Amino acid sequence: MTASDLAVTASSHPELRTDVVVTDAPVPADVTVISDALDRFNMETTGIADRKPLAVLVRDPETHRAVGGLTGRTSLGLFFVDLFYLPPQLRGSGLGRVILRQAEKEAMTRGCRTAVLYTISFQAPGFYRKQGWRCLGEVPCDPPGTSRVFMTKELAAPTGEPVRSL
């Protein structure tokens, strides 16, 4: 446990035998427990078991180590972009557009109809707008004058017809 961890016993419900822990360093196995349990709940509720990670990686040709790319996931007809980063020397080359299109294409192959993401006002909202994304809304954050920009894009099959869900 780190110094910022805080354990609290659930005393308001004596029948519960749990500890509540606040941490800035969750163990990956704990995150997996939560993620898998939520996925099971969603599957039991919807009858659809389609959650799957999606990544488009940019690798150094010599070391084969990732230097950037996009990570996200697909689930229940939605494509979620979680992280997207390119080193400064690769920006402005068209590579970002290629990566995003490849991810969108894979999401459509998986049956996704819509994509969602958030970016920060000083990051890339203009880039996403140029790629056909639209703003759903903004939430102010720090530093003052900055906001989280929530965006979406309708995904379409090459024929222009919406992709049907699984």
Contact at 8 Å (CB) between 163 and 108?
yes
Determine what percent of the chain falls in helix, strand and coil, rounding each to the nearest 5: 25, 35, 40
Confidence of residue 163 (pLDDT cuts 50, 70, 90): very low
Give the C-alpha separation, 49 to 125, whole Å: 31
The pLDDT assigned to 165 comes to 42
Look at residues 113, 87, 112 and name the one whose alpha carbon lies nearest to residue 99. 87
Supply the mean pLDDT for the chain. 89
The pLDDT assigned to 11 comes to 54
The fraction of the chain above a pLDDT of 70, given in percent, is 86
Give the C-alpha separation, 44 to 47, whole Å: 6
* Helix (DSSP H) and strand (DSSP E) numbers for the chain: 3, 8
Contacts of 75 (CB under 8 A, 6+ apart): 39, 42, 50, 51, 52
The pLDDT assigned to 17 comes to 85
Is the per-residue pLDDT at 2 higher than 80?
no
Confidence of residue 27 (pLDDT cuts 50, 70, 90): very high
Give the global pTM.
0.81
